[in-house]
Amino acid sequence: MPDTPIRPSAWGGLTTILDTPLKRQVAIAVILMAMIVAPLLFGQYATVILTNALLYVVLALGLNIVVGYAGLLDLGFAAFFAVGAYTVGIATLNFGLNFWLALPLAVFFAIIAGIIIGTPTLRLRSDYLAIVTLGFGEIVRLAARNLRETGGASGLSGIESPWLFGWHISTPLDFYYVFCVLAIIAVVVSVRLANSRLGRAWLYVRHDEDAAEAMGIDRVKVKLAAYVVGAVYGAIGGAFFAANLGAISPNSFSFQQSVLILMAVILGGMGKIPGVILGAFIVILAPELLRDFGDLRLFIFAVGLLLIMLFRPSGIWPAKSRTGARR
């Protein structure tokens, strides 16, 4: 038997700094204020980048549930992202559905996709899981590329931006605030999940599958739940991504995209929500900040990644003593 898993805090040690309700409320208020005023201070380009970073927060938090909570390596997360984006694209363009009707449809298809991907992989150990998820990711991308219903390689364009109670969500600033709300919901749901029965089951399965099973946890169901929840995150991110850009093509759902999301999860410190958020901001902001280096920017970004991993192998977010650097 391994050591008993300690219940980790999804906040990754933040609770030891923000130890009173007052401090927490102040912190939340400061962050909310920062989120609201940031685009007004920094202008349109920054708004676009921050929107993208918030999208990545949602996606990375979704993948974090699969990888960080349940311990399943997923190299094809972009598949769920694609399912969400294409469902919205096809439903609004071909069937004339309203965005808000297409959104639950996207979630529905993502759940189906999560089950399809999850079911055959449940018996597999992590490295095999890696290739199967990678394979599914590629299958989804290639299908989107080959099928005429998905617009082939050129993808879909002219996706209408949605209306909400008479508010036409259309400018970059509108979408920034929409993604702010999405990111906040994503964080809250992630925290709730981590503290739920399911969250504890994930922890046990991740820590020792066989022991968990012996303790009466149905690991098949528990893993599947992780996939499905992760898929829903991905699909919602994808749906709003499609609405925001108005145009989607298979290029956006490549293996590299899956890798970037995974980097966000691990770079900051997987399993820890502030770490994942930090990771998402780094993978989006760093290449942008390096734009002036031209074709060297990804090279510098990669060297930076390498250095971060070498100096902080468990991710940037500090692993506090109580929550422990485990595994």
Mask for 10-29, x = binds other proteins (CB under 8 A): ----x--x---------x--
Our finding on whether 5 is near other proteins (CB under 8 A) is no
- Which residues lie closer than 8 Å to 113 by C-beta, 6 or more apart? 79, 80, 83, 140, 231
Site for other proteins in 200-229 (CB under 8 A): 206, 208-209
Any contact of residue 184 with other proteins (CB under 8 A)? no
Question: Least CB distance from residue 30 to other proteins, whole Å?
Answer: 6
Measured CA to CA, the distance from residue 3 to residue 207 in angstroms comes to: 9
Nearer residue to other proteins within complex by CB, 177 or 255: 255
Nearest to 280 by CA among 251, 272, 116, 245: 272
Helix axes 21-64, 273-289, angle to 10 degrees: 70
Binding of other proteins by 167 (CB under 8 A): no
Of these, 186, 278, 280, 323, which contacts other proteins (CB under 8 A)? 278
138-157 residues near other proteins, rule: CB under 8 A? 138-139, 142-143, 145-146, 152-155, 157
Please select the residue that binds other proteins; options are 132, 180, 183, 280, rule is CB under 8 A.
132
Selected binder of other proteins within 267, 272, 280, 323 (CB under 8 A)? 267
Question: What phi and psi, each to the nearest 5 degrees, are found at residue 20?
Answer: -115, 155
Identified binder of other proteins from the candidate list 20, 96, 313, 321, rule CB under 8 A: 313
How far apart are the C-alpha atoms of 248 and 98, rounded to whole Å? Answer: 17
- Are 167 and 273 a contacting pair, CB within 8 Å? no
Interface residue with other proteins, options 38, 93, 173, 185 (CB under 8 A): 38
Type of residue numbered 117: I
Select the residue interacting with other proteins from 93, 108, 160, 246 (CB under 8 A): 246
The minimum distance between CB 94 and other proteins, in angstroms, equals 15
Q: Report, in Å, the least distance between residue 254 CB and other proteins.
A: 8
240 binds other proteins (CB under 8 A): no
**Cβ closest to other proteins, residue 108 vs residue 152:** 152
Cα–Cα dist 277/162, whole Å:
26
Neighbouring residues of 94: CB distance < 8 A, sequence distance ≥ 6 = 149
Q: In the range 109-128, which residues lie near other proteins by CB under 8 A?
A: 120-121, 123-128
Helix (H) or strand (E) holding 98: none
- Smaller CB separation from other proteins, 33 or 101: 33
Interface residue with other proteins among 25, 167, 296, 322 (CB under 8 A) is 296
- What does 166-185 look like in DSSP terms, one character per residue? TEE--SHHHHHHHHHHHHHH
- In the chain, where does DSSP find H-type helix? 14-17, 21-64, 78-93, 99-121, 126-146, 172-194, 197-207, 209-214, 219-245, 255-268, 273-289, 297-311
Binders of other proteins: how many residues, by CB under 8 A?
90
Task: Point out which span in 98-106, 135-143, 176-184, 220-228 binds other proteins (CB under 8 A).
Answer: 135-143
Among 6, 36, 44, 95, binds other proteins (CB under 8 A): 44
Task: With beta carbons less than 8 A apart as the criterion, state whether 144 and 81 touch.
Answer: no
Helix (H) / strand (E) element for 157: namely strand 156-157
Using CB under 8 A, which of 101, 302, 322, 324 touches other proteins? 302
Nearer to other proteins, 108 or 304 (CB): 304
Closer CB to other proteins, 8 or 71, in the complex: 71
